[in-house]
Amino acid sequence: MTVCEYRPGLEGIPAAESSISYVDGQKGILQYRGIRIEELAEKSTFLETAYLLIWGELPSQEELKAFENEIQEQRRIKYRIRDMMKSFPESGHPMDALQASAAALGLFYSLRDLHNPKYIRDSVVRIMATIPTMIAAFQLMRTGNDPVKPKENLDYAGNFLYMLNEKEPDPLAARIFDVCLILHTEHTINASTFSARVTASTLTDPYAVVASAVGTLGGPLHGGANEEVIQMLEEIGTVDNVRPYLEDRLQRKAKIMGFGHRVYKVKDPRAKILQSLAVQLFEKFGYDKYYEIAQEVEKVMAEKVGKKGIYPNVDFYSGLVYRKMGIPTDLFTPVFAIARVAGWLAHWKEQLAENRIFRPTQIYNGLHEVPYTPMGKR
């Protein structure tokens, strides 16, 4: 067996064959099952897009309605999970609460029948239905309130916003949130998806698969970056402070959150759509200074590092959109998880089809034949 060249982070090394999504980072193209993200954002819904990713094709009207009904029927969570979440510390991060809750969900459905299509569908439905409920429940319980029950007459996106605020959302806000979910649903073998596939390759249950992916998504170099974008904009404070702030950071070679991508060398196509969504929200509900600061940041960054292929990524504008909807900053990444769980489940299902456990090699750079030193001589 030949040992390949070591590439930190496995950069550029194929880890799987997949037909789920496609990215061309040079041209700024993102496709789900061959369909451009721009077309899905304009014409589809999140649940239709999730169905496309998980089962490989767009559903018929009857198939989509059945999928929507199944998810609606499974939105409530077990009271024991709710009671467990009540014991979580109020200061805990919602991503940690979500990871623990997703893993706990598997305790109630411990039967593992990975060759049974009904088991797979039931698991997909249950996980997608309850993840938003658990996130909204933790948010309310950590502020001393009881969780809000799901509302049957609201769609997937609108129901989450309702459970979060106990107020039916504006139709525009609900639609924009649904599009945000579409944009975050899938993005090839990113860190959390790779984590999901590695876990899936052991043939464990899908709840463990999702829990492992949630844990990976929470890091600031992955899903957690959207929180840090808002923190950066708050730190900048004014439009006039943008240039000196960025020049100082760039001189120190410090990371500018929301900029740059391991794949895209042009502006992230999802960032373009998110920016237009932000404009729609602000035009209806009022502009704020952070959008103006963000525009200036993008302008100065294009001037300073645009030639290096460093442009806004999906995290740069998503936080502004969520903030305008009244979503707390530390829920931005859990909201990312609501969307990405469909992609994780699509990869789980694909991994099962031709599974082989992941077992990469390593390049050992340590010592050899080191004698044991007795305790008295150390």
- Give CA–CA dist 374/6, Å, rounded: 36
Measure the N-to-C terminal CA separation of the chain; round to a whole number of Å. Answer: 39
Beta bridge partners of 22: 31
Q: How many CB atoms within 10 Å of residue 308?
A: 9
Residues whose CB falls within 8 Å of the CB of residue 12, separated by 6 or more in sequence, listed in order:
none
pLDDT tens for residues 74-126? 999 999 999 999 999 999 999 999 999 999 999 998 788 999 999 999 999 99
Place of tokens 């998806």: 193
pLDDT of residue 319: 87
pLDDT tens for residues 67-77? 999 999 999 99
Helix axes 171-184, 314-324, angle to 10 degrees: 160
Q: Identify which has the larger pLDDT, 318 or 198.
A: 198
pLDDT tens for residues 136-175? 999 999 999 999 999 989 999 999 999 999 999 999 999 9
Residues known to be catalytic: 261, 315
Taking only Cα atoms into account, the Rg of the chain, rounded to an integer number of angstroms, comes to 22
Residues in the chain: 378
| pLDDT band, very low/low/confident/very high, at 266 (cuts 50, 70, 90) | confident
- Give CA–CA dist 1/17, Å, rounded: 21
pLDDT of residue 3: 56
